[in-house]
Structure 1
Amino acid sequence: MNSGSLEIQLSWQDPVTGERREPRLRVPIAFGREFARMPAELRGQPVVRMVLNHDQVSRFHALIEWEQNQLVVTDQGSVNGIHVNGQRQTRAVVNSGDLLQIGPYVISVTFAAALTPPSPPPPVHSGNSVINFNPSTNLPDPTLPPQQPVIPTGSNFPPPLFRQQQIPVQALHATGLPVDETDYLAVGAGLGSFIWVDLLRISSVSSDKIVALGIDKEPYARYKLLCLNSQIPLHERLRSNSDSCPDNIWGWPSYALREAWHDFTKGKLNDAVKYLWKVFAEPTFAETYTPRAGNVFDSIDREAKRIGWDKIYRFGRVLTIRKTDDGRYCVAYSRGRGNHAFFVSRYLHIATGYPALQFLPHLQAYRERYKDFKSVVNAYEDHNHVYQQLEHQGGRVLIQGRGIVASRIVQRIYEARQKNPNISILHLMRSPKPQGNKYGNSQRSVKHHIELQPFNWPKACWGGELRETLEKAPPDVRKELLSNKVWGGTTTADRLDWQRITDTGIREGWYKIQFAVVTKVEQDAQNHIITYIEDKDFGEIQLPAVDFIIDATGLDAKVKESPLLQDLVEHYNLPLNPVGRLAVANDFELVEMRNDKGKIYAAGAITFGGSYAAVDSFLGLQYACLRAVDGLAAARAPGVHSLNPVSSFGQWLKWVFNQSPT
């Protein structure tokens, strides 16, 4: 390839605005915060200047050049350095598909010559479609083709020996690829992995015995992205309890107490008292307290630093998991295009989160037909352009889904109406909900056909009577209890501000609810979106044209949507529970994957349908990981000491004084 004509495709999401940028540029490229004056050695050269406006980016930060038939990136003496595929470098070769990090910008690099036309979209099925997460960027990507198998035909990695049930460790070394070993390996490196690692550390396991493999160094990166995309900025509140603290096993001081103390020291006495009153009086006399997103992320940052997360984390996309012939497990993973390696460990923990976003099939069909990814969006995609256009031009929005995400979208549109009142909402629901689910003597309240509940499950599911009931129940009874007719179902938080918004909207006429089943969505000659619904009396009828449709129906954690989990299930013929997720024991072990003394545990949404309902909540992740670590202690796993009142108090004191656990 001629270096003078070389172009590369860069792709990233702006960490401040959330805007997606995908420039195609000619090499050389200079990256920096500003370029008031270029370095002397580059003056007069045709250098493309790429400005990254962030205080973590130096004025002249990095340079990409073409040297001896290779693309090379060089750190230009920046303060924060550059990272290639998660590893800090001063000078490195960049291959197509690699990830380059400059400050908070994680940039995917693709050679223009390597760019290929997108694969044809998958056919639309009767069930929900999905939007998969890009395995290179960890961002939802609606243009991705269906997920590919882990070991496709003709692939040279993972090698053919991974088709065996047990892999000889000697054969791994014979491949010539890097083989590392560790006692404890966390697959995913997200919040579930972080909590498991945190519990191992406070159970006396040293950081050099633990590895967490994943795409993002910040354990909350995926969760934060989904929050921001679904219009929960850092100052807004999550649907989580005050003492559900991923950074602190005791849950004390709770988020409410921390926030009250912070405001008290700032002279905001009324706010401080308000938070404490909420916790004391909720939910009977006061609205349930929930923490601010930014406070949660800050607390996790503090704990990550305390336990040495930066030494534990490794960049890598896990491709497959296999048993080894010596009672351990081998993980094959990719560190970038053409850069593969193995990890061997006796104890694994899988917490991969949600692999895809649910997407209604008629909306998927619309996007495939019209190639319109701006007017019809998923609430978990980056869709800030919708609110920007509404604020400037007004418009009509159709929302599908009636859970907490839909409520947050309604709030965001209400905020846009403060700038432009020429905005209206049509909230489309499949059927009325005149009354809430009832279990025993308890029944959920309903307002405007939306079930209200402080959290996504009855509170007794976390640690009370309902948790014990579910744990003792057989699989078919668990499925019934977790169904939409009993404990489950779509609910939204019992927030008075959201109720006031819908009350106001209905009264003023800009918010309307309609019950219908959508048959198809089309585009008219003016590029407006036309929705057709089925009416029992009049057949198919057309709704008024809208400017945007937002799908707020949620996330998808089915095993089949994750190539890693699907490969594991098929290779070892693992059972799934009645709702189609991984079948785990009450201590969250995948019992069928036991290999001599080796054990695999799981946590998060991939275990839903088992002995615990709220598996994807903060407290649910803590519970699953605590049960798993207790199991390791009972099995006398190396370095794991059971927590007792004395050792637990000692570890809590270390947390208070921000000291390392070991």
Structure 2
Amino acid sequence: MNPAPMRLRLSWDDPGTGERKEPTLAVPIALGREFNQMPGEMNGHRVSRLTLNSLEVSRFHALIDMDAGGLVVIDQNSSNGTLINGQRQTRSVLGNGDSLQIGPYYISVTFAANPPASPPSGNSQIFFHPDTDLPDPRISHPAPLPPLASPAQPGGTAAFPPPAFQAQQVVVQDLHATGLRVDEVDYAAVGGGLGSFVWVDLLRIYGVKSSQIAALGMEPQPYARYKRLCMNSQIPLHERLRSNSDSCPDNIWGWPSYALREAGHDLLKGSLGTAFGYLWQVFAEPAFAQTYTPRAGNVFDAIDREAKRIGWEQMFRYASVRSIRKTEDGRYAIAYSRTSANQRDHAFLIARNVQLATGYAAIQFLPDLQAYREKTNDFKSVVNAYEEHNHVYEHLEKFGGTVMIRGRGIVASRIVQRIYEARAKNPNISLLHLMRSPKPQGNKFGRSQRAVENHYEFQPFNWPKATWGGELRIMLEKAAPEQRKRLLADWGGTTTADRQDWRRMVEEGIRQGWYQITFGEVERVERNPHSSGIERTVTYIQEKGLKGQIRLEADFIIDATGLDAKVKANPLLNDLVTHYKLPLHENGRIAVANNFELVEMRSPQGRMYAAGAMTLGGPYAAVDSFLGLQYAALCAVVDSLAAARAPGIHRLNFLSSFGQWLKWVANQAP
């Protein structure tokens, strides 16, 4: 009888979506894109198969197996090779904690016989409070608001939405019978953020009257949540966003761009050098100049101007949207709650056409850090980069200390810059950057490859340039769902822009010794008293092989692993998807057509669209960028609604578009 096979936990972040994957598989394990020619058993054991969907991965790329020397990984004459701990190998002994690179996949290997003491690694979430829209770490799971009494029934306990919303098609008369307010419009934007704003902006430019548009959201400024997340992640108004400048949410024509406006402002002040520097950046990037990105304050000021121009205040409705259903007359019924200082009441909105742009449902939070918070109730030492945590930098600037960053990418690079700035006030600050695995080389696609330096992956823009509006965008639109998954894995997710000042800070920190990068899978995080009497966090990671643990102390831990856009994390979207059995991608995002329509939700009189991070895996890559939101709006309004002659929309030609642009320049209503 053969002994029970060894089991391994293989952990990686999906290169296309950033989602954490952690299957536990029995040895032998075959890794590859396809396994048509491979036997089902080897040495008397069934072969586990791990499919890695990328053109950089060979059909049968590598095999993890046991031999007389222990656990080994064997490259199967793959086209691009197998890297073990950053070194290309054809055959190598594999130890606990080692890392493999196969194409764009960076996989950590953990012996399942020695599981970590904390909950499985994978990401938990910090959800936004349903009333305040602020990150609330004490909300453990997404849930609809509890049933509340209806104003039409004083002292009653009627649940909202009413029982009529259990039907596939709601009878509009039944909504009027509740005694609650019922309004009707042609267009409803659900979310009220930047995605809603660019859709509404385009509708107004295309001739729709503000009286026929409703934007439902939690905050009157369409950029409110985005601004708050920027500020929390240490991007103040004067600092430059860590995103590109290919589009302007306030200007669908894109001219003048942010760089041109900033240059014009500096020219008026007599700063010729800086003005022409911005223009040179845009003209020469990325080959001869570093990437231009706009200042946060300039972006928000420009959106304020456009919001006032199109009458956003008249269209916006404070609303916590609870549910959306089709109606029997071919429209959509939206049930929402309206909260004031003293009471909460409810209302309905009937719309012909609906756009969903609810943004990110939650902030990703590492489960070992979640476990630490639950055990210690310490919300000061362990924070997420997207939570308000200025107290960390205030403490460091006054007393010094050690900070640990978890995760890497755009947000982590900004935290590094903030620590660098704090050291100008107090040099007794050190930074420990804990990454799950090394990153010896960047994603490749064809002849192109992203640069890697100090385990940061760089890209002149967050995605390859051609995904925004070039040949790669067209390739993704034409691809089948499985091909799209493969392309997104090869292109990789968002990265830090290739800016010399950001790279210099990292190099300087490593050279001077105050910045250290280390790798490992976390077993647990605890709180231990320091010799000075001050309690510090202690992170235990498994040393490679079976030698033991590494103990890392820090005054603060900052989680920079990102945001969560999965449908199940959003009660509204989850309710809609469950009720109408809408298809989802493997990454948990909603499936849309090339014009961003939810085809299964089409009604005789109207259509439903989606935009933003919830659509990743569909026809567009950079879905949560400014340009991605505008592109989704263009596809929905121009290619779909205007083509269907939706009410109030008038197609623009060259002259009418130029006329609308002149109104934009003069700050006149569309």
TM-score by length of structure 1 reads: 0.80
2:663 maps to what in 1? Answer: 654
Counterpart of 1:407 in 2: which secondary structure? helix
C-alpha contact 1:475 1:578 (8 A) present in aligned 2: no
Which of the residues 128, 140, 151 maps onto 1:145? 140
Distance 2:353 2:644 in 1: 11
| Structure 1: distance between partners of 2:303 and 2:119 | 40
**Residue correspondence of structure 1 range 504-653 to structure 2 within 5 A:** 504-526=508-530, 527-630=535-638, 631-653=640-662
CA deviation profile, 1:182-203 (whole Å, cap 9, x unmatched): 1100001100000000000000
Q: CA deviation at 1:340?
A: 0.5
C-alpha distance in structure 1 between counterparts of 2:618 and 2:207, whole Å:
29
Say which of 397, 411, 415 aligns to 1:409: 415
Counterpart selection for 2:265 from 262, 267, 288: 262
Aligned twin of 2:255 = 252
The aligned counterpart of 1:479 is 485
CA deviation string 1:437-487 (max 9, x = no partner): 11011011110011011222111101001000000000011111112xx11
Match of 1:87 in 2: none
**Offset at 1:236?**
0.8
Counterpart Cα distance in 2 of 1:390 and 1:543: 22
Q: Quick one: which amino acid aligns to residue 387 of structure 1?
A: Y
Spell out, residue by residue over 1:505-554, the C-alpha distance to the aligned partner (whole angstroms, 9 max, x if none): 11110000001111110111342111000122344413231100000010
> Whole-Å Cα distance in 2 between the matches of residues 125 and 194 of structure 1?
39
Residue 659 of structure 1 aligns to a residue whose secondary structure is: coil
CA distance in 2, matches of 1:240, 1:528: 34
Per the alignment, residue 41 of structure 2 pairs with none
| Aligned pairs for 1:265-304 within 5 A | 265-304=268-307
State the distance in 2 between where 1:555 and 1:267 align: 41
Aligned residues: 537
Structure 1 counterpart of 2:33: none
Shift in Å at residue 489 of structure 1? 3.6
State the 1:151 CA deviation: 7.7
| RMSD of aligned residue pairs (Cα, Å) | 1.4
Does the CA-based 8 Å contact 1:151-1:158 persist in structure 2?
A: no
Note the C-alpha offset of 1:239.
Answer: 2.9
Helix, strand or coil at the partner of 2:590: coil
- AA at the equivalent of 2:427: P
1:595 offset after TM fit, Å? 1.3
| Cα distance per residue 1:588-628 (max 9 Å; x no partner) | 00000011121101100011110000000000000000100
Other-structure match for 1:379? 385
Distance 1:592 1:523, change over 3 A: same
Question: What residue identity is the alignment partner of 1:653?
Answer: L
Equivalent-residue separation in structure 2 for 1:364 and 1:450 (angstroms): 26
Cα pair distance change 1:293/1:431, threshold 3 Å: same
Unpaired runs of 5+ residues, structure 1, are 1-122
In the alignment, the residues of structure 1 paired with residue 605 and residue 119 of structure 2 have an alpha-carbon distance, to the nearest angstrom, of 45
* Matched letter for residue 247 of structure 2: S
Helix, strand or coil at the partner of 2:529: coil
Match of 2:440 among 423, 426, 434: 434
- Say if 1:244 and 1:619, in contact at 8 Å, map to a contact too: yes
Q: 1:206 to 1:490 in 2, by over 3 A?
A: closer
Residues 165-244 of structure 1 correspond to what in structure 2 (within 5 A)? 165-244=168-247
Alpha carbons of 1:277 and 1:269: their partners in 2 closer, same or farther (altered >3 Å)?
A: same
Could you tell me how far 1:387 is from its partner in structure 2? 0.3
Match of 2:320 among 298, 317, 321: 317
Q: SS of the residue aligned with 2:541?
A: strand
Deviation at 1:242? 3.1
> Given residue 515 of structure 1, which amino acid in structure 2 is its aligned partner?
F
TM-score relative to the length of structure 2: 0.79
In structure 2, give the amino acid aligned to 1:555: L
C-alpha deviation, 1:390, in angstroms? 0.4
Answering whether residue 137 of structure 2 is matched by residue 134 of structure 1, we say no
Aligned residue in 2 for 1:362: 368
Which amino acid is 1:332 matched to?
A
Note if contact 1:588-1:627 (Cα within 8 Å) is conserved in structure 2: yes
- 1:230 and 1:381 in contact (8 A); partners too: yes
Does residue 443 of the first structure (1) align with residue 449 of the second (2)?
yes
DSSP-derived class of the 2:609 partner: strand
Deviation at 1:262, TM superposition (A): 0.2
SS at match of 1:524: strand
How many angstroms does 1:579 deviate by? 2.0
Q: Does 1 or 2 have the higher relative contact order (CA < 8 Å, sep 6+)?
A: 2
With over 3 angstroms needed to count, the CA separation of the structure-2 counterparts of 1:570 and 1:332, relative to structure 1, is same
Give the stretch that moved more between structures: 155-164 or 185-194: 155-164
Contact 2:291 2:497 (8 Å CA) reproduced: no
2:468 is matched with which residue: 456, 462, 466? Answer: 462
TM-superposed CA distance for 1:143, in Å, is: 1.1
2: CA distance, partners of 1:406 / 1:185: 36
Measure how far apart 1:135 and its partner are. 1.2
The question of whether the paired residues in 2 share the 8 Å contact of 1:150 and 1:563 is answered with: no
CA offset digits 1:383-442 (Å, max 9, x no partner): 000000000110001101110100000000111111111100111111111111110110
Q: Which moved more, 1:210-219 or 1:142-151?
A: 142-151
Deviations 1:339-382 (A, max 9, x none): 11100011001100001000111111111111111100000000
Identical residues among aligned pairs (%)? 68
CA distance in 1, matches of 2:270, 2:548: 60
* Equivalent AA in structure 2 for residue 252 of structure 1: W
The 8 Å contact of residues 171 and 327 in structure 2, kept in 1 or not, is answered as yes
Residue aligning to 2:107: none
- Partner Cα distance (1:128, 1:243) in 2: 31
Range moving further from structure 2, 403-412 or 543-552: 543-552
How many angstroms apart in 2 are the aligned matches of 1:146 and 1:578?
21
Letter in 1 for 2:226: Y
Q: Does the CA-based 8 Å contact 1:391-1:420 persist in structure 2?
A: yes
- Partners of 1:273 and 1:126 in 2: CA distance: 48
SS of match in other structure, 1:334: strand
Residue 332 of structure 2 contacts residue 350 of structure 2 at CA under 8 Å; is this kept in 1?
yes
Give, in whole Å, the separation in 2 of the partners of 1:240 and 1:259: 16
Change (3 A) 1:419 1:126: closer
1:77-128 deviations in Å (ceiling 9; x for gaps): xxxxxxxxxxxxxxxxxxxxxxxxxxxxxxxxxxxxxxxxxxxxxx966521
Paired letter, 2:282: V
